[in-house]
Amino acid sequence: DAKTTQPTSMDCAEGRAANLPCNHSTISGNEYVYWYRQIHSQGPQYIIHGLKNNETNEMASLIITEDRKSSTLILPHATLRDTAVYYCIVRSPKYSGGGADGLTFGKGTHLIIQP
C-alpha cells in the first residue's frame, strides 16, 4: 500500500467546512483512497473512499486531484463531535483470491473543532 502524508493537527471553527489534506504521491493505478476517523476512546469509523472521481456521502466529500497524488476530505459543516484523528489510507482491493489483511493506520491528523 502506498505511503500517505498528513498534517499532524488542524483546527476548524464549528459550523465551517473542515478540509483535511492527504498526500499520496506514490499511489498506483489500482489503489483506492480511504478515510477513517477515530474519536477518542472509540473504534475507528469508516468515512468514505474513492479511486479517481470525487465522492460524496452523508458524512463527507472526497476530492482527489487529477494526477491522484493528493486528496482532500471535506466535512462541510463541522461540529464539535467531529473532533477526532482522521486517517488517510491508500490500498489496493483484492480482486482475486482469498485472504484478507489489516489496515495500516499512520499517525493521522488530529482535527480539533473549536466552538
Partner 1 sequence: SQTIHQWPATLVQPVGSPLSLECTVEGTSNPNLYWYRQAAGRGLQLLFYSVGIGQISSEVPQNLSASRPQDRQFILSSKKLLLSDSGFYLCAWTPAGTGAMYETQYFGPGTRLLVL
Residue with cell 498534517: 7
Residues 12-51, mask of contacts with partner 1 (x by CB under 8 A): --------------------x-x------xxxxxx--x-x
**If binding is defined by CB under 8 A, does position 53 make contact with partner 1?**
no
Contact 88, 5 (CB under 8 A): no
Contact 82, 75 (CB under 8 A): yes
Residue 14: HSE in the Cβ half-sphere, 13 Å Cα cutoff: 6
Which C-beta is closer to partner 1: that of 29 or that of 98? 98
Which C-beta is closer to partner 1: that of 29 or that of 93? 93
Contact 86, 10 (CB under 8 A): no
Task: Candidates 10, 105, 110, 112: give the one binding partner 1 (CB under 8 A).
Answer: 105
**If binding is defined by CB under 8 A, does position 95 make contact with partner 1?**
yes
